[in-house]
Structure 1
Amino acid sequence: MDFGSQVTQLIARRLRELNVYCEIHPFNAVDEAFLDAFEPQAVILSGGPASVPDEGSPRPPMRIFELEVPVLGICYGQQVMMQMLGGEVLRGDGTAEFGRAYVEPEGEATDLLRGWFLEGREQVWMSHGDHVSKLAPGFAVCGTSPGAPYAITADLDRRFYAVQFHPEVHHTPNGKTFLENFLHIAGFAGDWTMGAYREEAIRLIREQVGDQKVICGLSGGVDSSVAAVLIHEAIGDQLTCVFVDHGLLREGEAEQVVTMFRDHYNMPLIHAQEEDLFLDALEGVSDPEVKRKTIGKLFIDVFQKHAAEVGGATFLAQGTLYPDVIESVSFSGGPSVTIKSHHNVGGLPEKMGLKLVEPLRELFKDEVRALGRELGLPDSFIGRHPFPGPGLAIRCPGEITREKLAILRRADAVYIDQIRKHGLYDEIWQAFVALLPVRTVGVMGDGRTYDYACAMRAVTSVDGMTADYYPFSHDFLGETATRIINEVRGINRVTYDVTSKPPGTIEWE
């Protein structure tokens, strides 16, 4: 249950890494009807920015504590548990902790702490201003820190556990063991695998689609490609893929996609060559949100047109992922702070008359790659870097022209070729060139140039939610800049972007 922590996603990721299925739901979407339908085997209450003593601060339904299943409260989750079950929470008073802290054992050992305190204390990550000042009846202290006398608490009879720190983050090194112990207490077998997911997904696709036709928006990226192969395995020729060539793809990409899916997988494939439609609509547009929304609307228009060509298609398949869903929905239930629009999230206009099939919307990126391998897609394809739906449009800040796209496409190809030649491609989450909306003076030979500057971007990440720049050597950067300037007419200056996410995003727009 999500109370708005910035690291709630990590809880689900850690449990899935332990082969246990976990879903994130905002606190105000969890009521008694939901709990009856979902039938959780265990519940985790996340951290969050609210203060429990405040009037109107978020609460889980009391029914959570009547399900007779293990419950784990983390940070705010601990505090709200204590407050609701008869304890007390106070503000600050010198017990705030932020960052690294050390917890020492207290009281009798519990199964929750098996493998902990082997060296006397454990490093954990704290992020709290308020603190529990009085334990709820039935709870005992199992671990303390200088700023949190109730750092680890447990009610063993009811299998309720509450911790002030964050076991899900990297800075709690033994957090995986802690979560694994909680799962063991809850009786999980750890048998949720991609093989099991594949079988269940195929069953659900067949159940949802029946004998109806499906069109799939195939971008050529990993997500939509895995979705297409999975759906094709489920319903065969009831699926027709629509590959929209919007003129914003990388060098040679359209040919690669058409060859792979039409020839190798023998899927019905419509190659919608709509470059003029998209680029004409984007002419003069410089605002990044307008770009994204224009492209998203045109995608829908194109799908609608080709759905009619297929004849009788009633479903549209998309490669929507779990981070897309989470990033587009606020935990508060109101409008989220939109970082960027996702054109494939939020359903479809009613005028299309199509229903969505999104078999990947509960998976993280690395899980999609694992599913792709399970489906037999080649590693060279599965390991491709992510590519945004709006394509090169958001790697070309400012107005888009065909000339600028040609320059960007060629520079990006040189950059990726350099990364592959140096054996670095698989170490990097995503790499690309952005063509900057600025011209700079340069000298080539005996002449003056006035050409574009570009920025190379390469980041390391696990799921794209946070990222850090890749530490190329200066030799690599110099060699690559020289190649781009020598081989790409229209660029005379190359920079490297060393911004992490946050505060930046991975893409430039």
Structure 2
Amino acid sequence: MQKNLIIVLDFGSQYSHMIARRIRDIGVYTLLCSYKLSVSEILKKNPKGIILSGGPCSTYHHQSPLILKEIFYLNIPILGICYGMQMISSLFKGIVKKSIHKEFGKSCFIIDQKSLLFQNIPRQSNVWMSHMDEVTKVPETFHVIGHTDSCSIAAIQHNKKNIYGVQFHPEVKNTKYGIVLFKNFVLTICQCHPTWILKNFLQKKIYSIRRRVQKNKVLLGISGGLDSCVTACIIYKSVGSSLYCIFIDTGFLLEEDQKNIHDLSKKMNFPIKVIDAKKHFLHQLKGINDPEQKRKIIGKEFIYFFQKESEKIGNVNFLAQGTIYSDIVESSPMGTLRSPIKSHHNVGGLPQRMKFKLIEPLKKLFKDEVKRLGKQLGVPKNILYRHPFPGPGLSIRIIGEVNKRKISILKKSESILSQELQKFGIYHLVSQAFIVLLPIKSVGVMGDKRSYEYVAALRVVNTEDFMTSTCSPLPYQFLEKISNRIINEVDGINRMVYDITSKPPSTIEWE
């Protein structure tokens, strides 16, 4: 059990995960939990502080999500953010109404009274607002400690208890002193110590895996991507030769993936068996258009190969996966108001019944934490700095049915994109770049003749943790070069478009 723990109770905000990220950056371990967490479950986790996230609901609507008022009497410091602050006000008999002036975006926040929450923050600063409701009357046991031009009650504090609320979002980078506010709450008010260090995490994880596995064997399907490679390194350090790595070539992978696997095996000194399953996976996806079906079929077929391989090895009780925190958040509603976004083949795509026990050492880490862990472990640079690649591979970058010709078209396009990203010095300046083959065709003119070929979309994003992202502002010369090369060199595409959507509202991958 973590001695320094902050719990974030999630009410469905798109920013909830960012709260956990910001606090981990401070050095304090944080868990994102369902708002339905009971008092006994909270006491069992023994947190030093509780944060109530924002959310899409209104406190004055019937059946709005609420926490039990008993939580406020546990003598654990509480910070409510946006909906969290409104809920605190409502539970303590304040009044929350629809805002006359809605606020979305930057706003100037003004501190009205000194507070431990606002130490080392200037009286006026920019914050990020995103609300349609506001507190119009403060509960009798609270007082106002901050406002904006449009919101007269933008921050509140309990008169006696360590209970605070802010209408703005300190977790968003547009709130200039958001990290300072979190430090004040977590380190000063909650009296946490910054002991969350990845090196300590690694040592504890190696010990716990070794103790759990004992003399059994572990099977790991390795993809060539960062998550599965870091997982392999951790488990190899834990159980040595009891780890059996297999690389299943589904046919949906990039040309460089097998090279990455060879480099990892050579540098980290453990064998990786390659299984050619191209025809098998292509046959299984024949006639399948729905992305969720694709993911579930691929997850099921991976297990099929794992089980076949385990029978050859014998005494395999554990299956290891490179599942990370964002996979779980996107695949599962976690008992919150958030709907599942998509099944990751290693989360929602796995069959409910399988004979393996799962080992997922990274499932509570964000992508940038996994990368830092990979550096500590000495993972080769071509894997460490490789752009993320989905487990189902190119099958979910082909919108609609997958076939051999579409895979060939997409592989050639991805190869050109990779070459030009390197030539222009852009590859390491962006977080992820790829091509999506669309299920529509457009009319073009090629060689003075009418063409009728596929449309492809270029997707390039910048992000820190892959939970939110923005479109990369690429040079026009680069975009022109990509378009010209792909259309001229790849038979089957006659039109390129650039996807400029942020996440949210979109996801990074299209499927």
Within the alignment, does 1:368 sit opposite 2:376 as a pair? no
CA distance in 2, matches of 1:130, 1:438: 42
CA distance in 2, matches of 1:228, 1:156: 52
CA distance in 1, matches of 2:137, 2:478: 58
Q: CA deviation at 1:488?
A: 3.0
1:187–1:302 distance in 2 versus 1, CA, 3 Å: same
Deviation per residue, 1:220-251 (Å, 9 max, x gap): 11111111111111111121112111011011
Which residue of 66, 71, 77 maps to 1:64? 71
- Matched residue, 2:265: 262
Deviation per residue, 1:71-107 (Å, 9 max, x gap): 11112211222333x3312312636544332222223
Within the alignment, does 1:47 sit opposite 2:54 as a pair? yes
Which residue of 134, 144, 160 maps to 1:141? 144
- Matched residue, 2:329: 326
> Which residues in structure 2 correspond to 1:438-477 (within 5 Å)?
438-440=440-442, 442=444, 444-445=446-447, 449-477=451-479
Q: Bigger shift: 139-148 or 223-232?
A: 139-148
- Matched residue, 1:215: 219
Preserved contact between residue 264 and residue 379 of structure 2 (Cα < 8 Å): no
> Partner letter of residue 10 of structure 1?
M
Task: Please state whether the residue corresponding to 1:149 is helix, strand or coil.
Answer: coil
Q: TM-score, normalised by structure 2?
A: 0.91
> Partner letter of residue 210 of structure 1?
Q
CA distance in 2, matches of 1:377, 1:27: 38
Q: CA deviation at 1:140?
A: 2.8
- Matched residue, 1:113: 118
1:406–1:34 distance in 2 versus 1, CA, 3 Å: same
Task: Please state whether the residue corresponding to 1:148 is helix, strand or coil.
Answer: coil
> Partner letter of residue 341 of structure 1?
S
| Percentage of matched positions with identical amino acids | 42
CA distance in 1, matches of 2:267, 2:20: 35
Within the alignment, does 1:404 sit opposite 2:390 as a pair? no
> Partner letter of residue 467 of structure 1?
S
Within the alignment, does 1:80 sit opposite 2:87 as a pair? yes
Task: Please state whether the residue corresponding to 1:393 is helix, strand or coil.
Answer: helix
Preserved contact between residue 32 and residue 63 of structure 1 (Cα < 8 Å): yes
Aligned residues, how many?
A: 502
1:395–1:130 distance in 2 versus 1, CA, 3 Å: closer
> Partner letter of residue 209 of structure 2?
I
Preserved contact between residue 152 and residue 164 of structure 1 (Cα < 8 Å): yes
Which residue of 37, 41, 54 maps to 1:34? 41
Q: CA deviation at 1:437?
A: 3.2
Q: CA deviation at 1:182?
A: 0.9
1:351–1:164 distance in 2 versus 1, CA, 3 Å: closer
Deviation per residue, 1:430-454 (Å, 9 max, x gap): 1112233344555555666554443
> Partner letter of residue 143 of structure 1?
G
Which residue of 246, 249, 268 maps to 2:250? 246
CA distance in 1, matches of 2:131, 2:489: 53
Q: Bigger shift: 368-377 or 336-345?
A: 336-345
Within the alignment, does 1:17 sit opposite 2:25 as a pair? yes
Preserved contact between residue 89 and residue 130 of structure 1 (Cα < 8 Å): no
Preserved contact between residue 52 and residue 89 of structure 1 (Cα < 8 Å): no
- Matched residue, 1:126: 129
Deviation per residue, 1:278-310 (Å, 9 max, x gap): 011122323322222221211121112112222
Preserved contact between residue 216 and residue 239 of structure 1 (Cα < 8 Å): yes
Q: CA deviation at 1:375?
A: 1.1
Q: Superposition RMSD on alpha carbons, in Å?
A: 2.3
Within the alignment, does 1:91 sit opposite 2:97 as a pair? yes
CA distance in 1, matches of 2:487, 2:104: 46
Preserved contact between residue 348 and residue 355 of structure 1 (Cα < 8 Å): no
1:99–1:439 distance in 2 versus 1, CA, 3 Å: closer
1:156–1:356 distance in 2 versus 1, CA, 3 Å: farther
Deviation per residue, 1:339-386 (Å, 9 max, x gap): 322111159546421111111111111111111111111333211111
Q: CA deviation at 1:195?
A: 1.0
Q: CA deviation at 1:39?
A: 0.4
Task: Please state whether the residue corresponding to 2:295 is helix, strand or coil.
Answer: helix
CA distance in 1, matches of 2:349, 2:410: 32
Q: CA deviation at 1:137?
A: 4.7
Task: Please state whether the residue corresponding to 1:126 is helix, strand or coil.
Answer: strand
CA distance in 2, matches of 1:200, 1:137: 47
> Which residues in structure 2 correspond to 1:157-168 (within 5 Å)?
157-168=160-171
* Regions of 4+ moved over 6 Å: none
- Matched residue, 2:500: 498
Within the alignment, does 1:274 sit opposite 2:277 as a pair? yes
- Matched residue, 1:174: 177
CA distance in 2, matches of 1:278, 1:347: 15
Task: Please state whether the residue corresponding to 2:303 is helix, strand or coil.
Answer: helix
CA distance in 1, matches of 2:209, 2:282: 35
> Partner letter of residue 283 of structure 1?
K
Q: CA deviation at 1:15?
A: 0.6
CA distance in 1, matches of 2:465, 2:239: 30
Task: Please state whether the residue corresponding to 2:165 is helix, strand or coil.
Answer: strand
> Partner letter of residue 177 of structure 2?
N
Q: Bigger shift: 317-326 or 138-147?
A: 138-147
CA distance in 2, matches of 1:128, 1:400: 42
| Unaligned 5+ runs, structure 1 | none
Q: CA deviation at 1:486?
A: 3.7
1:214–1:131 distance in 2 versus 1, CA, 3 Å: same
Task: Please state whether the residue corresponding to 1:10 is helix, strand or coil.
Answer: helix
- Matched residue, 2:388: 386
- Matched residue, 1:151: 154
> Partner letter of residue 119 of structure 2?
R
